[in-house]
Structure 1
Amino acid sequence: MTRTRGILCAALLALAALYAWWFARDGQWVAVVVFALPPLLLALSLLRGGGARTGFWAGVLALLWFSHGIMVAWTRAPERGLALAAVALAVAIVLAASLPGLRARFGARSRSS
Structure 2
Amino acid sequence: MKRARHVLMGALAALCVLYLFWFQHKPAALVIFALPVALLLLGVALKRRTAGFWSALFALLWFSHGVMVAWTRAPERGMAWIELLLAVVVVFSASLPGMQSRFAKRPD
TM-score normalized by structure 1?
A: 0.90
Find 2:83's aligned residue among 83, 86, 90. 86
Name stretches of at least 5 consecutive residues in structure 2 with no aligned partner: none
Question: Counterpart in 2 of 1:34?
Answer: 32
Find 1:95's aligned residue among 92, 95, 99. 92
Paired with 2:93 and 2:104, the residues of 1 have a C-alpha distance of: 16
Paired with 1:64 and 1:88, the residues of 2 have a C-alpha distance of: 13
Query: Which one-letter code corresponds to 1:47 in the other structure?
Result: A
Identity of aligned residues (%): 52
How many corresponding residue pairs? 108
Compute the displacement of 1:81 (Å): 0.2
Q: Which structure's residues are more often helix, by fraction? A: 1
Paired with 1:47 and 1:30, the residues of 2 have a C-alpha distance of: 25
Question: Counterpart in 1 of 2:103?
Answer: 106
Name stretches of at least 5 consecutive residues in structure 1 with no aligned partner: none
Instruction: List structure 1 runs of 4+ shifted beyond 2 angstroms.
Output: none
Question: SS state of the match for residue 107, structure 1?
Answer: coil
Compute the displacement of 1:4 (Å): 0.6
TM-score normalized by structure 2?
A: 0.94
